[in-house]
Amino acid sequence: MTALRRYLEENLALILRGHALRVSGIPLPAGTTAEAYESCLMALRPRDRWPENTRVYAALRSSLAENPLAALTALGVAAATGLYLGLGRAAVSWLGALLGGPV
Amino acid sequence: MTDSDPGADVRLAQAVAAGDPEAARDLCELHLPRLYAYILGRSGLDPDASAEVAQETIVAALRSAQHFRGQSSLDTWLCAIARRKVADHYRRESRRPLSLDRLTLEGLALLDTRPLPEETALREETAATVHRALWRLPADQREAALRKYLDGRSVAEIAVELGRSEKAVESLLSRAREGLRKKLAAWGVGAGAHPRPSPEGCPGERRDERGHRA
């Protein structure tokens, strides 16, 4: 095993460095930078499907990226408030019971 | 990859995250060539595949630019993404059957018993096979092996770069060598293996100055 290890070590360096030397200086294929830029523009393009094209979605996505916990907490509070205002106290109680809180 | 101004890197990443097309152009023009050279020298992929992976890396970086905090240089961060993309590429490639010509198989079989003839060690096919096996290893073993054998780093230096103890790095290198041996053996390479006839590939096939098969 020691002999194998030694020979493998010697040959690995030879193989890997030989390859690296052979390919150093090979230029970037023509058009690669332009293609990459086009791909970037596609990725940056605002989506035109609902709800991804809404400002609320963009704001939420940005908030989630910066501070996920705060964003999710705010979303939870907003959802609970909307539920209360829309469906009344009974709906909030029902939700509380569902989540394991006091009825 | 050289370190760039950390402030400039963070500003560029923030501009990219904000969706500035000019920042995206700067990202491509400033970083793509070096990223490509890094991938080409380290991954064993041919120039076209390396360029493809470099493009995928740039787009992935653009999508996650808001996570770049400047704790490393932008180049270092891009290289980390590139390593994952190269591994993904090899995972996709692994579904295709491996084709090794006879001389490469015989040459690699010698690894078990005697020093590799330089001619065989320097053949492009040998490098491609070893890279393919390397990039199938777990990331930590692969990085330890590349830093030791390609970059010529000492175990102590690798330990600092990977944030591990020297003993842990020795273990990684040992497992990497064993993993390489097993993968090559599974492909029919190694002591006692019978070289499989290859449906394609002639010894001594030529390449043009761009590294493509002529």
**Which tens digits make up the pLDDT trace of B51-102?**
999 999 999 999 999 999 888 999 999 999 999 999 999 988 776 655 555 4
What residue spans define the domains of chain B? Answer: 6-93, 102-186
Of the residues B14, B68, B122, the best mutation for testing chain A's interface (the one with the most A CB atoms within 10 Å of its CB) is B122
Fold for domain B102-186? Answer: Arc Repressor Mutant, subunit A (1.10.10)
Q: Tell me if the bond preceding A51 is cis, omega within 30° of 0.
A: yes
Give chain B's end-to-end CA distance (angstroms, integer): 31
CATH 1.20.1090.10 given to domain B6-93: no
A-facing residues of B in 103-142 (CB < 8 A) are 111-116, 118, 121-122, 124, 126-127, 130-131
Tell me which residue of B25, B34, B7 sits closest to B62, measured CA to CA.
B25
A-chain CB neighbours of B59 within 8 Å are 36, 39-40, 43
Of the residues A6, A9, A10, A12, the best mutation for testing chain B's interface (the one with the most B CB atoms within 10 Å of its CB) is A12
A18 versus B109: which is more confidently predicted? A18
Q: Quick one: pLDDT at residue B193?
A: 41
Instruction: Give this complex's ipTM.
Output: 0.74
Tell me which residue of B166, B104, B153 sits closest to B133, measured CA to CA.
B104
Q: Identify the band that residue A65 occupies on the pLDDT scale cut at 50, 70 and 90.
A: low
C-alpha torsion angle, residues B74, B79, B80, B84 (rounded to 10): 140
Q: Tell me if the bond preceding B199 is cis, omega within 30° of 0.
A: no
